[in-house]
Structure 1
C-alpha cells in the first residue's frame, strides 16, 4: 500500500525576473515500510519537494499537483489545523539546517519534551511523573549524545551544528511517525556518528515500520540504506527504480555521472587524481535550457535533445532520456 503518492508536483516561485518553475512534474510513490532515497546535487529541488509535502511554503510559492496523498488523506485540501494535527502524529522531518529550525529562546529540554506526543507513553499512571524528561534523555542517548543532561539545559546557540542535528533527529523519532523525511540527516557529523545515525534510521524503519524519504546528494550513502532511488536534476525527476536498477544499471547520463563521481578506493588511484565531474553547473532557474535540462552538460547530447524527453518505463525502471545508456541489454533481458 502506498503511504505517499505524488503525481505531477510543480512548484513555481515568483522572483524579480518573473515566475520560474523550481520543481516540474515530479512523481514520487513511497510504500508502507519502504526507504526511498531522493538524490541530486545542491539546487536540484529535493528540499522543495520535502517542504511541499509538509505544507511549508512562502508567500511567493505556487504549489500544484494532480495528486498528493498520505494514505487516504489529501494533503492539498488540508486546513491549517488539520495539517498541524497530521504533522504532530504522522509526519516528521529532519531539516537540513538544524540551528535555524530550533527555537533560540527555549532550552533544548523544553523543545524535545514538547515534541514527545502523549500517546507514546507506556506504563502505569504513577510513572507519568517527569516521564517526558526521562524519554528526552533516552532519545538523546539513542542519537549518540554522551552528556544529555548538559545538552538539555543548553540553548541552541551554545551547541555545535552536529549536536543540533542530532537533537533534530531525536525530536523527529520521538513521534514514531508513519513517514519520516530526512533531509541530509548526517550533515556536519563525523563518520562514526554518521554510521550510528544511519543504523538508527534503519532500526526505526524495521521496528516501527516507518516509511523514510532519505534526501541526500551522496548517492553512495543513500544506496546503502534505501530500497528504491529517485534521482533529480534541475527540478525534474530523471530516473527512478530499485536500488539494483539505479546503481548497477543506470540509464540516465546524470545518474551515471553521480556514480562515477564516487571515488573507488579499491582501485589504484593516482596521486592527486581528479574526481569525475560533468562540465558546467546547474543552470539558474531564470535561464533554463529548452528540451532536456541536462543537454548543455550531457556528454551524449545530440540535436534531438532540444526537445523534452518522454518518460520510459521498463520493469519498473523509469528514466527520461532520448539516448539512455545500455537500453538494449535491459529490453532483451
Structure 2
C-alpha cells in the first residue's frame, strides 16, 4: 500500500513535466508588463507613465500602517512631515508621538525612514526605464516622445528633490555643499551598489532634468495628453516644481521668474484662484479650478472612519476620535485676518466657534 501511494504522486509529476511543451505555457508575468508591450505604442507608454503618476497618490502605500498612519502615498507621507513642524499640535500625547517627537526620524532603522526612501526610489526605477527607451516607442512622433521625456524627467527631478531634502543637509547658496546627499541613479545605471552623491551633485542633477522638462513641457496647450488631464503634471506644475527647487537653493530671482511663468501657464490651462466655497469643501473635488495637480480616488479606495484623516477631523465622534484632537499653532491662526475664510478650517472655542 505504501509503495502504491508513493508511485501515484511521482506519476502525476512526470505527467505534468512531459505533457506540456513550452510554447503552450503562458510565460508572461501576471504582475509585470514587458518592455515589448510598453513600448509597442505611444498609448501604452502613456499608460505606464500615468501609473507612476497615480502611484504618487497610491492609497495602499503605507507608512508603518495603512489604516492608522495615512497611506495614500506622498499625501500621507507629507502629513507625517507636518507632524514634525511647529504648525501641528497634538493635544493627546499618545497617537503619532513617534513622528511628533522626531523619534522615527532620528532612528535610522525605523520604518518611516526606510519607506520614505522606497516611496520615491520606486518611482525613479520606473522612470529610468522609460527614459532609457524613449526611442523605442513605436509610431510616436518627436513631439510625443518629448512629452513622455519631459514628464518623466519632471517627476524624477521632483522625486530626487524630495529625497535630497530628507536625507541630505540643506543647500547653502554660495557654499560648496559637499556633504552627502542621496544615491543618484539615472537611465544609464543598473542596480549595482553606488555611493551617495554630494548635495551639490544632487541639485545639479535635478536642475538638468528640470531644464529639459521645462523645454519639452513649455506649451500649456500640448503639455498633457487628452486622456490624462486631471492628474498629469503639465506646464503649470512643471514651473511650480522648478520654483520650489530654486527656493530651496535660495535663488530668489529664479523663483520670481518661474513663479511668473507658472501663473501665466495657469491662465492658459484654465486654472484660477477660487473663493471660500472651494476652500471649505473638504479638498475632495479634483475639478476645483485652483488645483493644478489633483487626483480623484476611486470609490473603493478609501479608509473609512479609522484613518489618519478622520483622526484629524474634529467632527468625528466614534471610538478614539472622541479624545484624539489635533490643533493648529495659535500663532499661525492669529496671523490670519478675522475675515480670512481659512480660519474656518479649525474650531476656535474662545472666539465662539461651534464644533460640527
TM-score range, shorter chain: under 0.3
Q: Which has the higher contact order (CA 8 A, sep 6+)?
A: 1
Highest Rg: 1 or 2? 2
* TM-score normalised per structure 2: 0.25
Higher helix proportion: 2
